[in-house]
């Protein structure tokens, strides 16, 4: 109906999107063929049938396996082009895009190929569709800190093409604190900072990310609902959360959208945003997340408008650009 169209057309910023998580099965097989990489799946249908996960680790295993088809600058440009085309149809006017550089460096792909390919697609989207964007290099928290440090060094020749740094991959048992020196170095190089925290690990990881990494936003952050003092800190400091509802259900960190803490976080006064995380794997892009919330969790159009406005306010665009997005 009409409200579906409105949800899709609401101008949005997407702030929690892993570009490797936009790799649809069809493109994965196309790139495998182009690069003569053998995927351990028989067909597009076989790969698509594996998109059922018990937890974050189970998803990450498939995600890191499938991204092995990404080898060249053109592959990264094609991947980001495909995402930006879909994002436009979902009302995305600005996209701050995560990439997992360490996962590509370890396959021998140079940092320049990754960054230049992604940047080329972002520049095209701005020229052709008026969509702005930026790149956020995420460190893999389940690898040693020295590996993150080496990835930042590898990216330094392209630091002018980067917007920020983040922290992702398997969270439980990998708290943020040890990454403080790498984040400090990134911030000294002029980069913004965000981190995944409180997705599958408790609220204490969110507190620690704020205390040690200097992050300006928290990715996921849903476990903040368990800690009233942390909620107060997020509200007072206007620290946004980049929440990913369909991801949380697919990775079983939340039982269903009806039980999702997003409405409670909004009611408590937290600056909440809605994002798609890894849309090729989790059953929907960003407007699909809005639609699922409206159908299954009673999200009103007014609340959806607020979430979309929050996303622009929580983005790293200049105030002038933000005004033009609303
Ligand atoms: N959580 C942590 N790491 C990730 C995710 C996620 O949802 N997606 C891709 N890497
Ligand atoms: Zn994520």
Q: Which ligand number lies closest to the CA of residue 246?
A: 1
Is 199 considered catalytic here? yes
Structure tokens at 5: 């169209």
Predicted ipTM of the assembly: 0.96
Q: How far apart are CA 291 and CA 279, in angstroms?
A: 14
**Per-residue pLDDT tens listing for the chain (326 residues):** 668 999 999 999 999 999 999 999 999 999 999 999 999 999 999 999 999 999 999 999 999 999 999 999 999 999 999 999 999 999 999 999 999 999 999 999 999 999 999 999 999 999 999 999 999 999 999 999 999 999 999 999 999 999 999 999 999 999 999 999 999 999 999 999 999 999 999 999 999 999 999 999 999 999 999 999 999 999 999 999 999 999 999 999 999 999 999 999 999 999 999 999 999 999 999 999 999 999 999 999 999 999 999 999 999 999 999 999 98
Q: How far apart are CA 123 and CA 132, in angstroms?
A: 8
Q: How far is the CA of 2 from the centre of ligand 2 (A)?
A: 30
Q: Looking at residue 122, which CATH number applies to its domain? A: 3.20.20.140
pTM over 0.90: yes
Residue with tokens 């599958």: 200
Nearest CA to ligand 1 atom 10: 169
Structure tokens at 71: 């080898």
Residue 193 parent element (H or E): strand 192-197
Q: Domain count for the chain, please give it.
A: 1
Residue with tokens 């992604």: 118
In contact, 56 and 200? CB cutoff 8 Å: yes
Q: How far is the CA of 233 from the centre of ligand 1 (A)?
A: 24
Distance from chain centroid for Cα 60: 14
Nearest CA to ligand 1 atom 2: 169
Per-residue DSSP letter, 273: E
Structure tokens at 221: 């952050």
Q: Pocket residues for ligand 1 (CB within 6 Å)?
A: 18, 21, 56, 63, 168-169, 196, 199, 247, 277-278
The pLDDT of residue 298: 95
Nearest CA to ligand 1 atom 4: 169
With 0-12 / 13-18 / 19 or more C-beta atoms within 10 angstroms meaning exposed / middle / buried, residue 172 is middle
The pLDDT of residue 2: 64
Nearest to 167, CA basis, from 191, 190, 148, 147? 148
Q: How far is the CA of 323 from the centre of ligand 1 (A)?
A: 30
Task: Please state the three-class secondary structure of 167-189 as a single string.
Answer: EECCCCCCCCHHHHHHHHHHHHC
Angle, CA 102 vertex, CA 100 and CA 103 arms, to 5°: 70
Q: How far is the CA of 2 from the centre of ligand 1 (A)?
A: 33
Nearest CA to ligand 1 atom 5: 169
- Structural domain including 111 reads 2-325
Distance from chain centroid for Cα 73: 21
In contact, 271 and 233? CB cutoff 8 Å: no
Residue 195: phi and psi, rounded to 5, are -155, 145
Residue from 20, 96, 199, 200 carrying the catalytic annotation? 199
Residue 140 parent element (H or E): strand 132-140
- Given its phi and psi angles, is residue 252 left (phi above 0), alpha (psi -120 to 50 degrees) or beta? left
Alpha helices (H) along 156-296: 180-188, 203-212, 228-236, 245-250, 262-267, 279-282, 286-296
The pLDDT of residue 155: 99
Q: Which ligand number lies closest to the CA of residue 278?
A: 1
Structure tokens at 244: 């990913």
In contact, 171 and 59? CB cutoff 8 Å: no
Q: How far apart are CA 165 and CA 170, in angstroms?
A: 17
The pLDDT of residue 17: 99
């Amino acid at each position: 109906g009409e409200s579906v169209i409105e949800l899709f057309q609401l101008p949005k910023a997407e702030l929690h999107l892993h570009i490797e998580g936009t790799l649809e099965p069809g493109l994965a097989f196309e790139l495998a063929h182009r690069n003569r990489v053998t995927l351990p799946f028989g067909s597009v249908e076989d790969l698509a049938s594996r998109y059922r996960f018990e937890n974050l680790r189970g998803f990450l295993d498939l995600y890191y396996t499938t991204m092995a088809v990404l080898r060249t600058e053109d592959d990264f440009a094609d991947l980001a082009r495909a995402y930006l085309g879909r994002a436009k149809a979902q009302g995305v006017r600005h996209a701050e895009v995560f990439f997992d550089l360490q996962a590509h460096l370890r396959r021998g792909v140079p940092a320049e190929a990754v960054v230049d390919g992604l940047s080329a697609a972002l520049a095209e989207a701005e020229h052709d569709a008026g969509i702005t964007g930026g790149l956020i290099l995420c460190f893999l928290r389940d690898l040693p800190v020295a590996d993150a440090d080496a990835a930042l060094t590898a990216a330094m020749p392209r630091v002018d093409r980067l917007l920020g740094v983040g922290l992702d991959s398997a969270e439980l048992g990998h708290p943020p604190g040890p990454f403080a020196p790498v984040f400090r170095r990134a911030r000294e190089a002029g980069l913004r900072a965000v981190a995944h925290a409180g997705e599958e690990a408790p609220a204490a990881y969110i507190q620690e990310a704020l205390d040690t990494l200097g992050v300006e936003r928290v990715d996921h952050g849903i476990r903040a609902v368990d800690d009233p003092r942390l909620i107060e800190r997020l509200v007072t400091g206007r620290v946004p959360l980049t929440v990913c509802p369909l991801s949380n259900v697919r990775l079983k960190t939340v039982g269903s959208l009806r039980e999702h803490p997003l409405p409670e976080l909004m009611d408590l006064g937290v600056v909440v945003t809605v994002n798609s995380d890894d849309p090729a794997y989790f059953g929907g892009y960003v407007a699909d997340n809005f639609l699922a919330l409206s159908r299954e969790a009673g999200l009103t159009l007014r609340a959806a408008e607020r979430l979309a406005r929050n996303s622009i306010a929580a983005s790293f665009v200049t105030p002038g650009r933000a005004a033009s997005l609303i």
